[in-house]
Structure 1
Amino acid sequence: MAAINYAAEIVKELQRSAALIADAEAGTLADLLLQANRVFVVGAGRSGLMGRAFAMRLMHAGISAYVVGETITPGIDQGDVLIVGTGSGETRSLIPMAQQAKSLGASLVAVTIAPESTIGRLADAVVKLPGSPKAQASGSSASIQPMASLFEQTLLIFYDAVILSLMDRQGQDADRMYGRHANLE
């Protein structure tokens, strides 16, 4: 199959995947973001890269957002929100972070395939995204893509949709957000 045909199949998968996201769960996340003192985002691997992109857009939207693990990231506290993007909800490096955030009084949001997972059960709010976790993706008919690609792509689309919702709720437009864009480039 030609690369362009693969791209068309990926787009079809993403359309099916996006249609399965619950509006109420996305709305709950947007509400939490608007009420939070600060937002912390974390994920491992490619899910972490999607989280970094989300944190950047949150900053553009005027929300104090941090990526866990960066040298300038402050400590989390009561009134803050930790968003964990994790397909399986069982990523060993993320579970202690989720537990620590909860113990310090922060709200925890899991964006995951598996709401019944360890991180899903710890979370104050769960957004269930469709996709195949890496462990199940080999031989799965859920996606033509390798590993957890469908989840990771859906995660980015979901995060961008939340940004659009926040922009709508705050009466922001792209020009206003662009005013917060990096200007030392």
Structure 2
Amino acid sequence: MQTTQYLTEIIRELQHASEQIQDEQAELLVNDIIGANKIFVAGAGRSGFMAKSFAMRMMHMGIQAFVVGETVTPSLEKDDLLIIGSGSGETKTLVSMAEKAASIGAKIAVVTIHPESTIGKLADVIVALPGAPKDQTTSSYQTIQPMGSLFEQTLLLFFDALIVRFMEKKELDTQTMYGKHANLE
């Protein structure tokens, strides 16, 4: 197959994945973002990159959003929201973060393939994304892509869709957001 044919198939997989996400779960997450004092995002590996991009867009909207583990990240408090992106929902460092957030009394949201996971059991809001786990030998979900690529791509697009929904609810536009874009580049 040609590269463009692979690209077409990846886009088809993403379209199929997007059709399986429940709007009710997404709306709960948007409302929790609106109601939170500060937002913290976390993920490991490529999922972490997707979470960082989400935090960046929230900052552009004027939301206090932080990436867990960065040197300028403040402490999590009771009225805050921790959003974790984790395909497995079992990554040990992320499980520890969720447990700590729960002990503080902060809200926890997880975006995952496995709602029944350890992090899923700790979460107040669960958004289930379809996809294959990194080890696809035990998965019935089929993708041409390696490891967790489909989940990670769907995670990025889902986070971008949340941003658009938030913009709609808060009557924000791109021009307003651009005013908060980095200017020391």
TM-score tier by shorter-chain length is over 0.9
Query: What's 2:9 paired with?
Result: 9
- Equivalent pairs, count: 185
Q: Is the 8 A contact 2:89 2:113 kept in 1?
A: yes
Counterpart in the other structure of 1:154: 154
In the TM superposition, residue 133 of structure 1 has moved relative to its aligned partner by 1.1
Q: Pairwise mapping of residues 30-69 of structure 1 onto structure 2 (< 5 A)?
A: 30-69=30-69
Structure 2: unaligned runs, 5 residues or longer: none
CA offset at residue 140 of structure 1? 5.6
Equivalent residue, structure 1, for 2:180: 180
Alignment of 1:86-125 (within 5 A): 86-125=86-125
Shift of 1:34: 0.3
Q: What letter corresponds to residue 102 of structure 1 in structure 2?
A: A
- Per the TM alignment, residue 61 of structure 1 is displaced from its structure 2 partner at its CA by 1.1
- Partner in structure 1 of residue 72 of structure 2: 72
CA drift at 1:103? 0.5
1:38/1:81 contact within 8 Å kept: yes
Letter in structure 2 aligned against 1:68: V
The question of whether the paired residues in 2 share the 8 Å contact of 1:137 and 1:148 is answered with no
* C-alpha separation in 1, matches of 2:8 and 2:87: 24
Amino acid at match of 2:42: V
Give the drift of 1:137: 5.6
SS in structure 1 of the partner of residue 74 of structure 2:
coil
SS of corresponding position for 2:156: helix
Give yes or no for contact 2:95–2:119 (8 Å, CA) kept in 1: yes
CA RMSD of aligned residues (A): 1.2
Question: What does the per-residue CA deviation read over 1:5-57, in whole Å, with 9 as the maximum and x for residues that have no partner?
Answer: 10000000000000111000000000000000000000000000000000000
Q: Which amino acid aligns with 1:21?
A: I
1:176: how far off?
A: 0.3
Q: Distance in 2 between matches of 1:128 and 1:141?
A: 14
Q: For the Cα contact (< 8 Å) 1:137–1:146, is it kept in 2?
A: no
CA distance, structure 2, for counterparts of residue 146 and residue 4 of structure 1: 17
Task: Report the CA distance shift for 1:146/1:79 in structure 2 as closer, same or farther (over 3 A).
Answer: same
Deviation by residue 1:157-176 (Cα, 9 ceiling, x = unmatched): 00000000000000000000
* 1:139/1:25 CA distance change after superposition, 3 Å: closer
Cα distance change on mapping 1:86 and 1:141 into 2, 3 Å: closer
Deviations 1:77-110 (A, max 9, x none): 0100000000000011111100001111110001
**Aligned mates of 1:101, 1:141 — CA distance in 2:** 31
Residues 56 and 65, structure 1, Cα contact 8 Å, conserved in 2:
yes
Instruction: Give distance in 2, aligned partners of 1:141 and 1:116.
Output: 17
TM value normalised by structure 1? 0.97
